[in-house]
Chain A
Amino acid sequence: MKRLGIALILALTTAVGAPAQDFKMPVNLDRLASKASETTEVTLNGRMLQLAAKFMNDEDDAEAREMVKKLKGIYVRSFQFDSSGAYSDSDVEAVRSQLKSPAWEKIVNVHSKRNGENAEIYFKGDNPDRIDGLVIIAADPKELTVVHIDGPLDPSDIEKLGGEFGVPKVEVRPKTKPAKAGAQ
């Protein structure tokens, strides 16, 4: 009975703790669609990705298919606005706040005071050879894009995604604080 109690507590702790690592597109992002001049929304869960992979039969699709087959979800919210100030910092903060858990590591954080352009890239996972998730926040005064790829990605997948981005050269180390490379 005591063991059962301990097991129950552990199970509950795990169940309560798990969502902290999961990333969900905040609802407030979807509200921005009404203000945006252009909206792109992609929501693909694991089942839809498996289905899509079945139809990625072209030779050109082979690499993407192998990557997509492994994934659990792809979610994109992209909004373009006619004027600046259509979205607030709190809209972006709702995304960032979910990425503060230890499971996520900020790999790139670019802020341009001059242009107001920001780009943030987060990786999930402790495994140095594999990434368990990717979130990109790209924010301009007239554009806000959030990309969430849920599931295992090899560094080579990131390279293929970003062309010559060169992320494979990044040593994906577990739990290291980002070092400031430059500042203005």
Chain B
Amino acid sequence: MKEPSGVIQLWFERKQSFTKEIIPYIRYMMMSGLPVFLSLFGILFVYRYVNLLKDVPPQFPIAWIGAIVLTPLLCYSPLRTFLREADVIYLMPMEHKLSGYLKQSMIRSLRNSTLLLLAVLLVFWPLYRQGEGYIGIWFAVILLVLKAFNAYSGWQERRLIWNNQRLILRIIRWLLMFGIVLAWLKQDSFSFVLTIVYSVCAVALLYTCYRMMRKTSFPWRRLIDEEKFTIRRLYSFFNWFSDVQAVPPIVKKRYYLAWLIQLVPYRKASTFVYLHLITFVRTEIGGICIRLVILGGLVNYMVADSLGLQGWGAVLSLLFFSMLVTIQSGTLRSAHRHAIWKDIFPLSVTLQQKQLVHVECLINYILIFILWLPTFPMWGGHAYQVIVMLAIVLIFPLIRAMQLQSALRKAEELD
């Protein structure tokens, strides 16, 4: 049996093995257009932000924006443990010796999330200085203390036996933290003493709750599930850029999209439309697309509203997000690539391919149309730009469909 130092060694070995595993995918990602786009997006953001700082409108809600941006970074406390299913058998007997292993995970996770919080705080700082907050650098110190408390809270919540308690406590924690950040940022509206009293009471309340509730000493199942979830999400992301090893999909019912599945007619010619649409709705393929559409929609709105590059900024933004969502929806084609039923069901390869192209094209039309909607501030003028955007909405899914058809044909020829 491994000694505690061996356990720490095991943690480092697993971290190293994980890093080694993802390096090739990071390389593929770097070779894609994403870093260039992110740089361009960053430049655009800095340009807009500097302009804002030069002339902050009197009623600009600095405190509210600060609270909205900083609270998630303050509360979100991920924990990478690198634990695996088999550990339930092999590591569980030495659970009492795993504190060193867990400590490594906690330190690393806290360090990473704190660095991210500080980076965002640094960006926010010039705006904060123009707002109502008067405590200066002490605000950063308060955030760091709260961050440590949130990491502690995150761990205690993982240990809770009942999932409902965990969910309720997490919601309460996020709301209380939002209140604390807002109170410290709006120092002209709240008195200093009241803010301190509120902050201490909120933290004490949460601490008491954690102390009172029933907990497990080591939440094996939850940590393993969390680790699996993180890995799947990461690989789903890498899947945009290259063919990633098969990982079991994360399945979510997504009731709000269930109506889409009901629309598929009951007939043989729709069998694979039905299958792929369910796959899209319930797996991370659709999950990522939904998040991308929300993000892209927001960016498109901001760019269209500001009429960046005389409106061509919105065209470029729409084009970029259309590319991103179609790349993501394109991973649908490999979702059931190795499914035995493809070769058992009485459906010809041609029909199966036709149905896949059909469903992917339909999904792309819906996604790109939704991405286009938030550009409405431009619709009144800028006719050329609006026409180009409409062309993107209409033609882009067709181009992707033709590309898919050709890729499938080539793959079939190779088989």
Binding partners A and B = no
